[in-house]
Amino acid sequence: MVKHSSRLELSQSALKNNINFIKKIIGDDVRFSSVVKANAYGHGIQSYVPMAEKCGINHFSVASSFEAEEVLEVCAESTKVMIMGILYDEDIPWAIEHKIEFYIFNYDRLVLVNKLAKDLGIKAHIHLEVETGANRTGMGEREFAKSLTFLKKNIKQFEFEGLCSHFGGAESFSNQFKIDKQQKRFEEYWKVCKKRKLIPNFRHLASSAAALQYPKSRFDMVRVGVSQYGHWPSPDIYYAYLQEQKNSSVNALKRVVSWKTDIMDIRPVKEGEFIGYGTAYQATHEMRIAVLPLGYSNGYPRALSNRGFVLIHGKKAPITGLINMNLFMVDISHIPDAEVGDEVVLIGRQKNNTIGISSFTNTTQLLNNEMMSRLPQAIPRKAVR
């Protein structure tokens, strides 16, 4: 098989550490749903899901039926998959037949699913999503009451898997007033379910930030995204954890992914010469430059031009000039033993130096989630110890 210009390595031990850490916080009675939307936040669904299953995870949340199918291709037969987002009408029979759980956030969809489940003679596994204040998707009070009446009348066609909603900004303490209001609204919907004697298998509201910081929001299940991959949802959540630990050096989460490439070419550059396109970088002295075989088309942010760095032989090599579509250059004047074919670390550790994803996000204003989810699916992913 021919080689790609870069590669991603996923650490099984780091993932096990993260999942164990989160499970310890949420407790044994709360189901851990691993959110693997956006190609497992760039880590690769088909590589990541079997790794998570090795850590005891048996429930995965995705954003579409396309992603659900990707999970099904690699997961164990007993594993459950839940679609939180788009499910086209024509894909509903497929979801029902494969016992895929999915959100229903309006009454009309509930009526359609009932008809299709009846035609198939198979129960549909549904989660009713309610509106609590994020104003994205979810039923309001009247539509929810109408839906419960319909659900109770046609319960033979349904498995009522969950009652759910989503916080709009739990990662920021400045949103505390909004989070408290959403929590209260969700509990009101739950009271209606109890009054109607329609009890879902699971209640779920919390994503990573809420799961780590707000115990009352955990209910029966949490949907864990960014933190399982080794990243804190925000500085607020991280600093709150440090205060609880009374230890500013503790970081319980470990980065799962490392991103690597190799030196493609090495060339001398004379003083006064320009490097790359335009006049973005001019050599102020004689330099030795390494050419790397990837660029912004491979998910490496162009905003790191003249600002970022990579690791070669454990030393930081600064980016010189503009990042191109498929190439960029770094200064290796201070690394005389560097050769063509040597390993280059874009994200990860090499000897005593580390490049974290924060090195990208702090410079480019990208979120951790945004940076990682932009990594092309074509980059090969491999699980390592």
Angle between helices 12-26 and 45-54 in degrees, nearest 10: 60
| Res. 210: pLDDT tops 80 | yes
Q: So what's the pLDDT on residue 30?
A: 98
Residues 156, 123: Cα–Cα separation, whole Å: 7
79-93 in b/e form (b: 16+ CB < 10 A) is: bbbbbbbebeeebbb
Tell me the pLDDT band of 335, cut-offs 50, 70 and 90: very high
Give the list of residues 6+ apart from residue 287 with CB closer than 8 angstroms, or none. Answer: 268, 269, 275, 320, 331, 333
Q: So what's the pLDDT on residue 247?
A: 62
Distance (Å) of CA 2 to CA 5, 28, 108, 341, 343? 10, 45, 49, 15, 17
Q: Nearest Cα to 107, choosing from 155, 64, 140, 132?
A: 140
Percentage of the chain exceeding pLDDT 90? 90
For residues 287 and 334, the answer to whether their CB atoms sit within 8 Å is no
Residue spans of alpha helices (H) in the chain: 12-26, 37-41, 45-54, 65-74, 92-97, 107-120, 141-153, 176-196, 208-213, 235-245, 358-364, 368-373
Bridge partners, 259 (sequence order): 8, 347
Residues 53, 34: Cα–Cα separation, whole Å: 10
Bridge partners, 221 (sequence order): 31, 204
36-64 in b/e form (b: 16+ CB < 10 A) is: bbbbbbbbbbbbbbebbbebebebbbbbb
Tell me the pLDDT band of 22, cut-offs 50, 70 and 90: very high
Mean pLDDT score, 1-15: 96
Model pLDDT for residues 108-163, shown as the tens digit of each residue: 999 999 999 999 999 999 999 999 999 999 999 999 999 999 999 999 999 999 99
| Res. 360: pLDDT tops 80 | no
| Res. 248: pLDDT tops 70 | no
Least trusted range by pLDDT, from 192-201, 310-319, 355-364: 355-364
Domains and CATH numbers, the chain: 12-245 (3.20.20.10), 257-355 (2.40.37.10)
Helix (H, G, I), strand (E, B) or coil at 355: strand
| Res. 362: pLDDT tops 80 | no
For residues 74 and 46, the answer to whether their CB atoms sit within 8 Å is yes
Bridge partners, 354 (sequence order): 349
The average confidence (pLDDT) of the chain is 95
